[in-house]
Structure 1
Protein backbone atom coordinates (compact mmCIF):
# COMPACT_ATOMS: atom_id res chain seq x y z
CA UNK A 1 0.00 0.00 0.00
CA UNK A 2 1.19 3.50 -0.81
CA UNK A 3 1.60 5.17 2.59
CA UNK A 4 0.96 8.56 0.96
CA UNK A 5 -2.70 7.53 0.90
CA UNK A 6 -2.60 7.05 4.66
CA UNK A 7 -1.09 10.51 5.17
CA UNK A 8 -3.87 11.99 3.08
CA UNK A 9 -6.39 10.08 5.19
CA UNK A 10 -5.00 11.54 8.43
CA UNK A 11 -4.80 15.10 7.14
CA UNK A 12 -8.35 15.00 5.77
CA UNK A 13 -9.63 13.44 9.00
CA UNK A 14 -8.00 16.24 11.01
CA UNK A 15 -9.04 19.13 8.76
CA UNK A 16 -12.46 17.89 7.69
CA UNK A 17 -12.02 19.68 4.37
CA UNK A 18 -10.70 18.50 1.00
CA UNK A 19 -9.56 22.05 0.24
CA UNK A 20 -7.69 22.43 3.54
CA UNK A 21 -6.14 18.97 3.16
CA UNK A 22 -4.95 19.81 -0.35
CA UNK A 23 -3.36 23.04 0.90
CA UNK A 24 -1.55 21.28 3.75
CA UNK A 25 -0.34 18.47 1.50
CA UNK A 26 0.66 20.85 -1.33
CA UNK A 27 -1.63 19.02 -3.75
CA UNK A 28 -4.56 20.02 -5.92
CA UNK A 29 -7.95 19.10 -4.51
CA UNK A 30 -8.66 16.60 -7.26
CA UNK A 31 -5.55 14.63 -6.24
CA UNK A 32 -6.73 14.45 -2.63
CA UNK A 33 -10.13 13.22 -3.84
CA UNK A 34 -8.51 10.61 -6.06
CA UNK A 35 -6.24 9.38 -3.26
CA UNK A 36 -9.15 9.02 -0.84
CA UNK A 37 -11.17 7.09 -3.44
CA UNK A 38 -8.17 4.86 -4.15
CA UNK A 39 -7.78 4.10 -0.44
CA UNK A 40 -11.49 3.36 -0.11
CA UNK A 41 -11.28 0.93 -3.05
CA UNK A 42 -8.22 -0.74 -1.56
CA UNK A 43 -9.84 -1.17 1.87
CA UNK A 44 -13.28 -1.98 0.51
CA UNK A 45 -15.10 0.55 2.68
CA UNK A 46 -16.35 4.12 2.57
CA UNK A 47 -14.10 6.18 4.85
CA UNK A 48 -15.74 9.61 4.62
CA UNK A 49 -19.24 10.97 4.21
CA UNK A 50 -19.08 13.92 1.79
CA UNK A 51 -21.35 16.55 3.35
CA UNK A 52 -22.01 20.23 2.49
CA UNK A 53 -20.05 21.22 5.59
CA UNK A 54 -17.05 19.05 4.74
CA UNK A 55 -15.80 15.48 5.04
CA UNK A 56 -16.85 13.45 8.08
CA UNK A 57 -15.31 10.13 9.04
CA UNK A 58 -17.53 7.06 8.90
CA UNK A 59 -17.18 4.34 11.52
CA UNK A 60 -14.89 2.46 9.13
CA UNK A 61 -12.94 5.67 8.61
CA UNK A 62 -12.38 6.11 12.35
CA UNK A 63 -11.01 2.58 12.59
CA UNK A 64 -8.80 3.21 9.56
CA UNK A 65 -7.37 6.40 11.10
CA UNK A 66 -6.35 4.57 14.27
CA UNK A 67 -4.45 1.91 12.35
CA UNK A 68 -3.03 4.38 9.81
CA UNK A 69 -1.26 6.21 12.62
CA UNK A 70 0.32 2.95 13.75
CA UNK A 71 1.46 2.10 10.22
CA UNK A 72 3.01 5.53 9.62
CA UNK A 73 4.68 5.47 13.02
CA UNK A 74 6.19 2.07 12.24
CA UNK A 75 7.32 3.35 8.84
CA UNK A 76 9.07 6.30 10.49
CA UNK A 77 10.80 4.04 13.03
CA UNK A 78 12.00 1.84 10.17
CA UNK A 79 13.49 4.85 8.40
CA UNK A 80 15.15 6.01 11.62
CA UNK A 81 16.68 2.57 12.16
CA UNK A 82 17.96 2.20 8.59
CA UNK A 83 19.53 5.65 8.62
CA UNK A 84 21.21 4.93 11.91
CA UNK A 85 20.04 8.18 13.46
CA UNK A 86 22.01 10.35 11.04
CA UNK A 87 18.85 12.05 9.77
CA UNK A 88 15.81 12.73 11.92
CA UNK A 89 12.58 13.63 10.19
CA UNK A 90 8.85 13.18 10.51
CA UNK A 91 5.69 14.77 11.87
CA UNK A 92 5.14 15.50 15.55
CA UNK A 93 1.65 16.40 16.79
CA UNK A 94 1.40 18.46 19.97
CA UNK A 95 -1.68 19.57 21.89
CA UNK A 96 -1.36 22.43 24.37
CA UNK A 97 -3.30 25.33 25.93
CA UNK A 98 -3.63 28.47 23.84
CA UNK A 99 -1.19 30.44 26.00
CA UNK A 100 1.46 27.73 25.65
CA UNK A 101 0.93 27.48 21.88
CA UNK A 102 1.17 31.25 21.47
CA UNK A 103 3.93 32.18 23.89
CA UNK A 104 5.96 29.16 25.02
CA UNK A 105 6.26 26.87 22.02
CA UNK A 106 7.16 29.02 18.98
CA UNK A 107 10.78 29.60 20.00
CA UNK A 108 11.28 25.98 21.06
CA UNK A 109 9.87 24.76 17.75
CA UNK A 110 11.98 27.25 15.81
CA UNK A 111 15.08 25.95 17.59
CA UNK A 112 14.16 22.37 16.67
CA UNK A 113 13.53 23.38 13.04
CA UNK A 114 16.95 25.01 12.88
CA UNK A 115 18.71 21.91 14.17
CA UNK A 116 16.44 19.30 12.57
CA UNK A 117 14.83 20.74 9.43
CA UNK A 118 13.25 17.39 8.60
CA UNK A 119 10.91 17.59 11.59
CA UNK A 120 7.46 19.15 11.09
CA UNK A 121 5.54 20.09 14.24
CA UNK A 122 1.74 20.38 14.17
CA UNK A 123 0.26 22.40 17.05
CA UNK A 124 -3.32 22.12 18.26
CA UNK A 125 -4.72 24.45 20.96
CA UNK A 126 -6.63 22.11 23.29
CA UNK A 127 -7.76 21.93 26.90
CA UNK A 128 -6.71 19.31 29.41
CA UNK A 129 -9.45 16.80 28.64
CA UNK A 130 -8.85 16.83 24.87
CA UNK A 131 -5.08 16.77 25.36
CA UNK A 132 -5.22 13.63 27.50
CA UNK A 133 -7.72 11.99 25.14
CA UNK A 134 -5.50 12.82 22.14
CA UNK A 135 -2.47 11.14 23.70
CA UNK A 136 -4.54 8.08 24.62
CA UNK A 137 -5.96 7.65 21.11
CA UNK A 138 -2.70 8.48 19.35
CA UNK A 139 -4.01 11.58 17.58
CA UNK A 140 -1.38 13.52 19.58
CA UNK A 141 2.22 12.44 20.10
CA UNK A 142 2.76 14.84 22.98
CA UNK A 143 0.52 16.97 25.16
CA UNK A 144 1.31 19.95 27.35
CA UNK A 145 -1.16 20.57 30.15
CA UNK A 146 -1.48 23.41 32.67
CA UNK A 147 -2.88 22.13 35.97
CA UNK A 148 -2.27 22.35 39.71
CA UNK A 149 -1.89 18.56 39.75
CA UNK A 150 -2.48 15.95 37.07
CA UNK A 151 -3.50 12.31 37.24
CA UNK A 152 -3.63 10.40 33.95
CA UNK A 153 -3.63 6.64 34.62
CA UNK A 154 -1.63 4.70 32.08
CA UNK A 155 0.15 7.78 30.74
CA UNK A 156 3.54 9.26 31.62
CA UNK A 157 3.21 12.67 33.25
CA UNK A 158 6.26 14.88 33.85
CA UNK A 159 6.21 18.32 35.47
CA UNK A 160 8.49 20.46 33.31
CA UNK A 161 7.86 24.08 34.34
CA UNK A 162 5.97 26.45 36.60
CA UNK A 163 3.67 28.98 34.90
CA UNK A 164 3.18 32.24 36.87
CA UNK A 165 -0.45 33.40 36.94
CA UNK A 166 -1.56 37.02 37.40
CA UNK A 167 -4.72 38.87 38.35
CA UNK A 168 -4.63 42.03 36.23
CA UNK A 169 -6.73 45.08 35.37
CA UNK A 170 -6.37 48.34 33.49
CA UNK A 171 -5.05 51.22 35.62
CA UNK A 172 -7.77 52.86 37.69
CA UNK A 173 -10.40 50.17 37.22
CA UNK A 174 -12.39 49.92 40.47
CA UNK A 175 -12.94 46.73 42.41
CA UNK A 176 -16.41 45.92 41.08
CA UNK A 177 -16.19 42.13 40.98
CA UNK A 178 -16.57 41.99 37.21
CA UNK A 179 -14.32 39.44 35.56
CA UNK A 180 -13.52 38.41 31.99
CA UNK A 181 -12.18 34.87 32.06
CA UNK A 182 -11.39 31.97 29.78
CA UNK A 183 -13.99 29.23 29.35
CA UNK A 184 -14.63 26.64 32.04
CA UNK A 185 -12.05 23.87 31.93
CA UNK A 186 -9.13 26.31 32.18
CA UNK A 187 -7.48 25.15 35.40
CA UNK A 188 -6.18 28.45 36.71
CA UNK A 189 -9.38 30.42 36.06
CA UNK A 190 -11.53 27.62 37.51
CA UNK A 191 -9.33 27.62 40.63
CA UNK A 192 -9.65 31.39 40.94
CA UNK A 193 -13.45 31.24 40.72
CA UNK A 194 -13.64 28.46 43.33
CA UNK A 195 -11.68 30.60 45.78
CA UNK A 196 -13.82 33.75 45.39
CA UNK A 197 -15.79 34.64 48.52
CA UNK A 198 -18.39 36.74 46.67
CA UNK A 199 -20.52 35.93 43.63
CA UNK A 200 -19.05 38.07 40.86
CA UNK A 201 -20.20 38.92 37.35
CA UNK A 202 -18.23 36.64 35.03
CA UNK A 203 -18.06 36.78 31.24
CA UNK A 204 -16.20 33.93 29.59
CA UNK A 205 -14.45 33.81 26.23
CA UNK A 206 -12.67 31.13 24.24
CA UNK A 207 -9.56 33.19 23.44
CA UNK A 208 -6.92 35.03 25.41
CA UNK A 209 -7.03 37.93 22.94
CA UNK A 210 -10.75 38.53 23.57
CA UNK A 211 -10.33 38.40 27.35
CA UNK A 212 -7.28 40.67 27.35
CA UNK A 213 -8.89 43.23 25.01
CA UNK A 214 -11.91 43.62 27.30
CA UNK A 215 -9.69 44.15 30.32
CA UNK A 216 -7.35 46.61 28.56
CA UNK A 217 -10.49 48.58 27.68
CA UNK A 218 -11.23 48.92 31.40
CA UNK A 219 -14.27 46.66 31.52
CA UNK A 220 -13.09 44.49 34.41
CA UNK A 221 -10.37 42.17 35.71
CA UNK A 222 -8.93 38.91 34.43
CA UNK A 223 -6.67 36.01 35.34
CA UNK A 224 -4.05 35.03 32.77
CA UNK A 225 -0.53 33.58 32.60
CA UNK A 226 2.08 36.27 33.12
CA UNK A 227 3.56 35.52 29.70
CA UNK A 228 0.22 36.45 28.07
CA UNK A 229 0.12 39.92 29.69
CA UNK A 230 3.83 40.72 29.99
CA UNK A 231 3.78 43.18 27.08
CA UNK A 232 0.75 45.05 28.48
CA UNK A 233 2.25 45.17 31.98
CA UNK A 234 5.46 46.65 30.58
CA UNK A 235 3.50 49.20 28.52
CA UNK A 236 1.32 50.20 31.48
CA UNK A 237 -1.98 49.34 29.78
CA UNK A 238 -2.49 46.65 32.43
CA UNK A 239 -1.33 46.51 36.02
CA UNK A 240 -0.90 43.66 38.44
CA UNK A 241 -3.61 43.46 41.07
CA UNK A 242 -1.93 40.53 42.75
CA UNK A 243 0.11 37.48 41.89
CA UNK A 244 -1.71 34.17 42.12
CA UNK A 245 -0.34 30.66 42.76
CA UNK A 246 1.61 29.20 39.86
CA UNK A 247 0.19 26.51 37.63
CA UNK A 248 2.36 23.56 36.65
CA UNK A 249 3.12 22.71 33.03
CA UNK A 250 3.07 18.94 32.50
CA UNK A 251 4.36 16.95 29.53
CA UNK A 252 2.14 13.93 28.83
CA UNK A 253 3.14 10.94 26.70
CA UNK A 254 1.93 7.38 26.19
CA UNK A 255 4.55 4.84 27.36
CA UNK A 256 2.77 2.07 25.42
CA UNK A 257 3.84 3.63 22.12
CA UNK A 258 7.40 3.62 20.87
CA UNK A 259 8.15 7.21 19.86
CA UNK A 260 9.85 8.05 16.60
CA UNK A 261 13.21 9.81 16.68
CA UNK A 262 11.42 13.05 15.74
CA UNK A 263 9.05 12.76 18.72
CA UNK A 264 11.98 12.07 21.04
CA UNK A 265 13.85 15.14 19.77
CA UNK A 266 10.84 17.42 20.28
CA UNK A 267 10.05 15.95 23.71
CA UNK A 268 13.61 16.61 24.82
CA UNK A 269 13.42 20.18 23.53
CA UNK A 270 10.22 20.79 25.49
CA UNK A 271 11.64 19.30 28.67
Structure 2
Protein backbone atom coordinates (compact mmCIF):
# COMPACT_ATOMS: atom_id res chain seq x y z
CA UNK A 1 0.00 0.00 0.00
CA UNK A 2 1.65 3.22 -1.21
CA UNK A 3 -0.99 5.65 0.14
CA UNK A 4 -1.13 7.48 -3.20
CA UNK A 5 -2.57 6.70 -6.64
CA UNK A 6 0.34 8.65 -8.19
CA UNK A 7 3.02 6.52 -6.43
CA UNK A 8 1.07 3.32 -7.20
CA UNK A 9 0.97 4.29 -10.88
CA UNK A 10 4.72 4.86 -10.95
CA UNK A 11 5.42 1.48 -9.31
CA UNK A 12 3.13 -0.33 -11.75
CA UNK A 13 4.27 1.59 -14.83
CA UNK A 14 0.81 3.01 -15.58
CA UNK A 15 -0.46 6.55 -15.84
CA UNK A 16 -2.03 8.12 -12.74
CA UNK A 17 -5.33 8.65 -14.57
CA UNK A 18 -5.50 4.94 -15.53
CA UNK A 19 -5.03 3.79 -11.93
CA UNK A 20 -7.63 6.32 -10.69
CA UNK A 21 -10.15 5.08 -13.27
CA UNK A 22 -9.55 1.41 -12.31
CA UNK A 23 -10.09 2.17 -8.62
CA UNK A 24 -13.34 4.00 -9.33
CA UNK A 25 -14.53 1.01 -11.37
CA UNK A 26 -13.63 -1.29 -8.45
CA UNK A 27 -15.66 0.84 -6.03
CA UNK A 28 -18.67 0.76 -8.38
CA UNK A 29 -18.39 -3.07 -8.55
CA UNK A 30 -18.10 -3.40 -4.73
CA UNK A 31 -20.90 -0.93 -4.17
CA UNK A 32 -19.11 0.96 -1.40
CA UNK A 33 -16.09 3.28 -1.14
CA UNK A 34 -12.83 1.33 -0.96
CA UNK A 35 -10.57 4.36 -0.45
CA UNK A 36 -10.93 7.40 1.77
CA UNK A 37 -9.56 10.46 -0.04
CA UNK A 38 -7.22 12.56 2.08
CA UNK A 39 -5.41 15.86 1.34
CA UNK A 40 -2.11 13.99 1.19
CA UNK A 41 -3.30 10.77 -0.52
CA UNK A 42 -5.70 7.89 0.18
CA UNK A 43 -6.23 5.16 2.77
CA UNK A 44 -8.40 2.06 2.89
CA UNK A 45 -11.89 2.21 4.30
CA UNK A 46 -13.22 -0.65 6.42
CA UNK A 47 -14.64 -2.21 3.25
CA UNK A 48 -11.32 -1.68 1.50
CA UNK A 49 -9.44 -3.46 4.33
CA UNK A 50 -11.71 -6.52 4.09
CA UNK A 51 -11.34 -6.54 0.30
CA UNK A 52 -7.56 -6.24 0.57
CA UNK A 53 -7.29 -9.18 3.00
CA UNK A 54 -9.30 -11.48 0.71
CA UNK A 55 -7.35 -10.32 -2.33
CA UNK A 56 -4.06 -11.29 -0.66
CA UNK A 57 -5.40 -14.79 0.09
CA UNK A 58 -6.64 -15.22 -3.48
CA UNK A 59 -3.31 -14.12 -4.96
CA UNK A 60 -1.43 -16.48 -2.64
CA UNK A 61 -3.55 -19.44 -3.82
CA UNK A 62 -3.10 -18.42 -7.45
CA UNK A 63 0.66 -18.34 -6.93
CA UNK A 64 0.67 -21.81 -5.36
CA UNK A 65 -1.43 -23.11 -8.25
CA UNK A 66 0.98 -21.70 -10.82
CA UNK A 67 3.96 -23.33 -9.07
CA UNK A 68 2.17 -26.68 -8.94
CA UNK A 69 1.23 -26.50 -12.62
CA UNK A 70 4.72 -25.45 -13.70
CA UNK A 71 6.39 -28.32 -11.81
CA UNK A 72 3.98 -31.31 -11.93
CA UNK A 73 6.83 -33.82 -11.41
CA UNK A 74 8.31 -32.14 -8.33
CA UNK A 75 6.43 -34.54 -6.04
CA UNK A 76 5.10 -37.37 -8.26
CA UNK A 77 2.87 -40.08 -6.79
CA UNK A 78 4.99 -42.88 -5.34
CA UNK A 79 4.19 -46.58 -5.66
CA UNK A 80 6.34 -48.79 -3.44
CA UNK A 81 6.36 -52.43 -4.51
CA UNK A 82 7.92 -55.32 -2.62
CA UNK A 83 9.63 -57.94 -4.79
CA UNK A 84 10.46 -61.44 -3.55
CA UNK A 85 14.12 -62.52 -4.04
CA UNK A 86 13.22 -65.17 -6.65
CA UNK A 87 12.15 -62.33 -8.98
CA UNK A 88 14.61 -59.69 -7.76
CA UNK A 89 17.83 -60.51 -9.57
CA UNK A 90 19.61 -57.76 -11.51
CA UNK A 91 18.12 -58.24 -14.97
CA UNK A 92 14.59 -58.52 -13.60
CA UNK A 93 14.84 -55.38 -11.46
CA UNK A 94 16.20 -53.49 -14.49
CA UNK A 95 13.26 -54.71 -16.61
CA UNK A 96 10.78 -53.60 -13.95
CA UNK A 97 12.36 -50.15 -13.83
CA UNK A 98 12.56 -49.65 -17.61
CA UNK A 99 9.01 -50.85 -18.30
CA UNK A 100 7.70 -48.90 -15.30
CA UNK A 101 9.21 -45.67 -16.62
CA UNK A 102 7.29 -46.17 -19.87
CA UNK A 103 3.93 -47.31 -18.50
CA UNK A 104 3.83 -45.43 -15.18
CA UNK A 105 4.31 -41.94 -16.55
CA UNK A 106 4.41 -39.36 -13.76
CA UNK A 107 4.61 -42.05 -11.07
CA UNK A 108 7.73 -42.88 -9.06
CA UNK A 109 8.13 -46.67 -8.86
CA UNK A 110 10.15 -47.75 -5.81
CA UNK A 111 11.18 -51.42 -5.56
CA UNK A 112 11.89 -53.12 -2.22
CA UNK A 113 13.38 -56.63 -2.12
CA UNK A 114 11.85 -58.63 0.75
CA UNK A 115 11.23 -62.25 1.70
CA UNK A 116 7.84 -63.80 0.99
CA UNK A 117 7.20 -64.13 4.72
CA UNK A 118 7.83 -60.40 5.21
CA UNK A 119 5.27 -59.21 2.65
CA UNK A 120 2.19 -59.32 4.85
CA UNK A 121 3.94 -57.49 7.70
CA UNK A 122 5.05 -54.80 5.22
CA UNK A 123 1.42 -54.32 4.14
CA UNK A 124 0.35 -54.04 7.77
CA UNK A 125 3.05 -51.45 8.44
CA UNK A 126 2.08 -49.47 5.35
CA UNK A 127 5.60 -49.56 3.92
CA UNK A 128 4.52 -51.03 0.56
CA UNK A 129 1.57 -50.44 -1.76
CA UNK A 130 1.88 -53.73 -3.63
CA UNK A 131 4.04 -56.84 -3.87
CA UNK A 132 5.31 -59.07 -6.67
CA UNK A 133 5.28 -62.65 -5.36
CA UNK A 134 5.19 -66.24 -6.61
CA UNK A 135 2.26 -68.55 -5.85
CA UNK A 136 1.32 -72.12 -6.79
CA UNK A 137 0.01 -72.64 -10.34
CA UNK A 138 -2.03 -75.79 -9.69
CA UNK A 139 -2.14 -77.60 -6.37
CA UNK A 140 -3.62 -80.67 -8.15
CA UNK A 141 -0.58 -81.04 -10.39
CA UNK A 142 0.98 -84.51 -9.84
CA UNK A 143 4.40 -82.83 -9.55
CA UNK A 144 3.18 -80.53 -6.78
CA UNK A 145 4.28 -81.30 -3.26
CA UNK A 146 1.57 -80.12 -0.82
CA UNK A 147 3.90 -79.98 2.16
CA UNK A 148 6.36 -77.74 0.30
CA UNK A 149 3.94 -75.52 -1.54
CA UNK A 150 1.74 -74.19 1.26
CA UNK A 151 1.54 -70.48 0.53
CA UNK A 152 2.20 -68.30 3.63
CA UNK A 153 0.17 -65.51 2.01
CA UNK A 154 -2.98 -67.66 1.86
CA UNK A 155 -3.32 -68.77 5.45
CA UNK A 156 -6.81 -68.14 6.94
CA UNK A 157 -5.78 -65.09 8.97
CA UNK A 158 -4.36 -63.43 5.87
CA UNK A 159 -6.79 -64.49 3.11
CA UNK A 160 -9.11 -61.50 3.57
CA UNK A 161 -6.35 -58.89 3.86
CA UNK A 162 -4.94 -59.02 0.34
CA UNK A 163 -6.22 -59.22 -3.20
CA UNK A 164 -4.29 -61.10 -5.87
CA UNK A 165 -3.91 -60.40 -9.60
CA UNK A 166 -2.28 -63.23 -11.54
CA UNK A 167 0.20 -61.86 -14.04
CA UNK A 168 2.30 -64.54 -15.70
CA UNK A 169 3.62 -68.07 -15.21
CA UNK A 170 7.37 -68.11 -14.62
CA UNK A 171 9.41 -71.23 -15.37
CA UNK A 172 12.22 -72.35 -13.05
CA UNK A 173 15.00 -74.79 -13.90
CA UNK A 174 16.82 -77.11 -11.43
CA UNK A 175 20.59 -76.69 -11.90
CA UNK A 176 23.84 -77.72 -10.31
CA UNK A 177 27.50 -76.83 -10.72
CA UNK A 178 29.42 -78.61 -13.45
CA UNK A 179 32.64 -78.99 -11.46
CA UNK A 180 31.06 -80.80 -8.52
CA UNK A 181 28.65 -83.06 -10.45
CA UNK A 182 28.83 -86.62 -9.04
CA UNK A 183 25.47 -87.97 -10.13
CA UNK A 184 21.95 -87.23 -8.93
CA UNK A 185 22.47 -88.49 -5.38
CA UNK A 186 25.58 -86.39 -4.76
CA UNK A 187 24.11 -83.32 -6.45
CA UNK A 188 21.02 -83.46 -4.27
CA UNK A 189 22.74 -83.53 -0.89
CA UNK A 190 22.94 -79.73 -0.68
CA UNK A 191 20.43 -77.11 -1.89
CA UNK A 192 20.95 -73.37 -2.19
CA UNK A 193 17.87 -71.16 -1.80
CA UNK A 194 17.09 -67.44 -1.74
CA UNK A 195 13.82 -67.32 0.22
CA UNK A 196 12.63 -70.13 2.56
CA UNK A 197 8.96 -69.09 2.29
CA UNK A 198 8.80 -68.84 -1.53
CA UNK A 199 7.24 -71.90 -3.25
CA UNK A 200 9.84 -71.72 -6.02
CA UNK A 201 12.60 -72.15 -3.44
CA UNK A 202 10.88 -74.63 -1.12
CA UNK A 203 9.96 -77.11 -3.82
CA UNK A 204 13.41 -78.51 -4.65
CA UNK A 205 14.45 -79.39 -1.05
CA UNK A 206 11.12 -81.15 -0.53
CA UNK A 207 11.37 -83.01 -3.86
CA UNK A 208 14.86 -84.25 -2.99
CA UNK A 209 13.79 -85.18 0.55
CA UNK A 210 10.95 -87.37 -0.72
CA UNK A 211 13.12 -89.28 -3.16
CA UNK A 212 16.03 -89.91 -0.78
CA UNK A 213 16.61 -91.20 2.73
CA UNK A 214 16.72 -87.80 4.40
CA UNK A 215 16.45 -84.04 3.88
CA UNK A 216 19.25 -82.25 2.02
CA UNK A 217 21.44 -79.64 3.66
CA UNK A 218 20.03 -76.17 2.90
CA UNK A 219 22.04 -72.98 2.44
CA UNK A 220 19.94 -69.78 2.52
CA UNK A 221 21.66 -66.86 0.75
CA UNK A 222 18.88 -64.28 0.38
CA UNK A 223 19.42 -63.36 -3.28
CA UNK A 224 19.27 -65.12 -6.64
CA UNK A 225 22.70 -63.73 -7.55
CA UNK A 226 24.10 -65.45 -4.46
CA UNK A 227 22.22 -68.65 -5.23
CA UNK A 228 23.52 -68.76 -8.80
CA UNK A 229 27.11 -68.06 -7.72
CA UNK A 230 26.92 -70.72 -4.99
CA UNK A 231 25.56 -73.31 -7.43
CA UNK A 232 28.26 -72.42 -9.96
CA UNK A 233 30.93 -72.89 -7.31
CA UNK A 234 29.60 -76.35 -6.47
CA UNK A 235 28.03 -75.56 -3.08
CA UNK A 236 24.73 -77.18 -4.08
CA UNK A 237 21.86 -77.39 -6.55
CA UNK A 238 19.21 -74.68 -6.98
CA UNK A 239 16.02 -73.63 -8.76
CA UNK A 240 16.68 -70.62 -11.00
CA UNK A 241 14.28 -68.62 -13.21
CA UNK A 242 14.63 -69.69 -16.85
CA UNK A 243 15.97 -66.28 -17.92
CA UNK A 244 18.70 -66.51 -15.31
CA UNK A 245 19.56 -70.16 -15.87
CA UNK A 246 19.44 -70.22 -19.67
CA UNK A 247 21.52 -67.15 -20.47
CA UNK A 248 25.08 -68.13 -21.48
CA UNK A 249 26.33 -64.91 -19.90
CA UNK A 250 24.81 -65.81 -16.53
CA UNK A 251 24.78 -69.61 -16.40
CA UNK A 252 28.42 -70.49 -17.03
CA UNK A 253 29.43 -73.50 -14.94
CA UNK A 254 25.84 -74.76 -14.52
CA UNK A 255 24.02 -77.81 -15.90
CA UNK A 256 20.55 -79.28 -15.37
CA UNK A 257 19.98 -81.49 -12.35
CA UNK A 258 19.21 -84.99 -13.74
CA UNK A 259 15.81 -86.48 -13.03
CA UNK A 260 14.31 -83.28 -11.64
CA UNK A 261 11.57 -81.53 -13.66
CA UNK A 262 11.32 -77.89 -14.49
CA UNK A 263 8.48 -76.17 -12.64
CA UNK A 264 6.22 -73.16 -13.10
CA UNK A 265 4.83 -70.73 -10.54
CA UNK A 266 2.44 -67.80 -10.86
CA UNK A 267 3.87 -64.31 -10.62
CA UNK A 268 1.15 -62.28 -8.87
CA UNK A 269 0.53 -58.69 -7.84
CA UNK A 270 -0.73 -58.44 -4.27
CA UNK A 271 -2.39 -55.31 -2.91
CA UNK A 272 -4.50 -54.40 0.10
CA UNK A 273 -8.13 -55.25 -0.53
CA UNK A 274 -10.19 -52.14 -1.26
CA UNK A 275 -7.18 -49.86 -1.78
CA UNK A 276 -8.55 -47.42 -4.37
CA UNK A 277 -6.31 -44.41 -3.80
CA UNK A 278 -6.49 -42.38 -7.05
CA UNK A 279 -2.74 -41.67 -7.04
CA UNK A 280 -1.97 -45.40 -7.40
CA UNK A 281 -2.10 -46.53 -11.04
CA UNK A 282 -2.95 -50.19 -10.45
CA UNK A 283 -3.76 -51.02 -14.06
CA UNK A 284 -0.42 -49.84 -15.42
CA UNK A 285 1.46 -51.28 -12.44
CA UNK A 286 -0.05 -54.70 -13.17
CA UNK A 287 0.89 -54.38 -16.85
CA UNK A 288 4.44 -53.34 -15.90
CA UNK A 289 4.85 -56.41 -13.71
CA UNK A 290 3.19 -58.66 -16.30
CA UNK A 291 5.54 -57.62 -19.09
CA UNK A 292 8.62 -57.86 -16.88
CA UNK A 293 7.78 -61.31 -15.50
CA UNK A 294 6.92 -62.61 -18.97
CA UNK A 295 10.59 -62.10 -19.77
CA UNK A 296 11.69 -63.62 -16.46
CA UNK A 297 10.38 -67.05 -17.44
CA UNK A 298 11.82 -67.03 -20.96
CA UNK A 299 15.19 -67.28 -22.64
CA UNK A 300 16.60 -63.72 -23.07
CA UNK A 301 15.55 -62.27 -26.42
CA UNK A 302 19.10 -61.46 -27.47
CA UNK A 303 20.31 -65.04 -27.01
CA UNK A 304 19.81 -67.57 -29.84
CA UNK A 305 17.77 -70.58 -28.78
CA UNK A 306 20.52 -73.06 -29.50
CA UNK A 307 22.95 -71.05 -27.38
CA UNK A 308 20.51 -71.13 -24.48
CA UNK A 309 20.07 -74.88 -24.76
CA UNK A 310 23.81 -75.50 -24.94
CA UNK A 311 24.34 -73.30 -21.88
CA UNK A 312 22.39 -75.78 -19.79
CA UNK A 313 23.67 -78.87 -21.58
CA UNK A 314 21.79 -82.12 -22.30
CA UNK A 315 19.34 -83.43 -19.71
CA UNK A 316 17.23 -86.40 -20.76
CA UNK A 317 15.44 -86.44 -17.40
CA UNK A 318 14.35 -82.79 -17.50
CA UNK A 319 10.63 -82.44 -18.08
CA UNK A 320 9.53 -79.34 -19.99
TM-score category (smaller protein): 0.5 to 0.7
Post-superposition offset of 1:91: 0.8
Residue number in structure 2 paired with 1:174: 182
Following superposition, the deviation at residue 167 of structure 1 comes to 0.8
C-alpha RMSD of matched pairs (Å): 3.0
Q: What are the superposed Cα offsets for residues 188-246 of structure 1, whole Å, 9 maximum, x if unpaired?
A: 22122223222223322222222211221233322222223232587652112243321
Equivalent in 163, 186, 191 of residue 198 of structure 2: 186
8 Å CA contact 2:164–2:269 kept in 1: the answer is: yes
Partners of 1:243 and 1:204 in 2: how far apart?
22
Is it true that 1:249 corresponds to 2:278 in the alignment?
no
Using the alignment, how far apart are the partners of 1:178 and 1:232 within structure 2? 24
Q: Which moved more, 1:109-118 or 1:216-225?
A: 109-118
User: What is the rounded CA distance, in whole Å, between the counterparts of 1:234 and 1:106 in structure 2?
Assistant: 15
**Among residues 207, 210, 235, which one is paired with 2:226 in the alignment?**
210
Structure 1 residues 58-207: aligned runs within 5 Å: 89-102=76-89, 103-114=91-102, 116-148=104-136, 151=154, 152-171=159-178, 173-175=181-183, 176=186, 177-195=189-207, 196-197=209-210, 198=212, 199=214, 200-207=216-223
Point out the structure with the larger helix share. Answer: 1
Residue in structure 1 matching 2:278, options 253, 260, 265: 260
Residues 76-116 of structure 1: CA deviation (Å, up to 9, x unaligned): xxx9xx99xx9893111000112323343432431332455
CA drift at 1:124: 0.7
Compared CA separation, residues 211 and 158, structure 1 to 2 (3 A): same
Structure 1 counterpart SS, 2:201: helix
**SS of residue paired to 1:231:** coil
In structure 2, the gaps of 5 or more residues are 1-64, 137-150, 291-320
Structure showing the higher strand proportion among its residues: 1
Alpha-carbon distance in structure 2 between the residues aligned to 1:234 and 1:140: 30
Counterpart residue number, 1:269: 288
Q: 1:5-20 maps to which residues of 2 (within 5 A)? A: none
| Cα distance in 2 between the residues matched to 1:137 and 1:111 | 27
In 2, are the aligned partners of 1:169 and 1:239 still within 8 Å (CA)? yes
Are the aligned partners of 2:100 and 2:109 in contact in 1 as well (CA < 8 Å)?
Answer: no
- Could you tell me how far apart the structure 2 residues matched to 1:244 and 1:165 are? 6
Deviation, 1:125, is 0.7
TM-score when normalising by structure 2: 0.51
Distance 2:249 2:94 in 1: 21
In structure 2, the partner of 1:66 is none
Q: Which has the larger radius of gyration?
A: 2
Alpha-carbon spacing, 1:137–1:224, altered in 2? closer, same or farther (3 Å): same
Cα deviations by residue, 1:159-190 (Å, 9 ceiling, x for unpaired) = 11111111101235113122222342232221
1:227 aligns with 2:239: no
Q: Whole-Å Cα distance in 1 between the matches of residues 280 and 76 of structure 2? A: 6
Does structure 2 retain, via aligned residues, the 8 Å contact 1:168–1:240?
yes
Aligned mates of 2:250, 2:224 — CA distance in 1: 18
Q: TM-score, normalised by structure 1?
A: 0.59
Q: Which moved more, 1:105-114 or 1:151-160?
A: 105-114
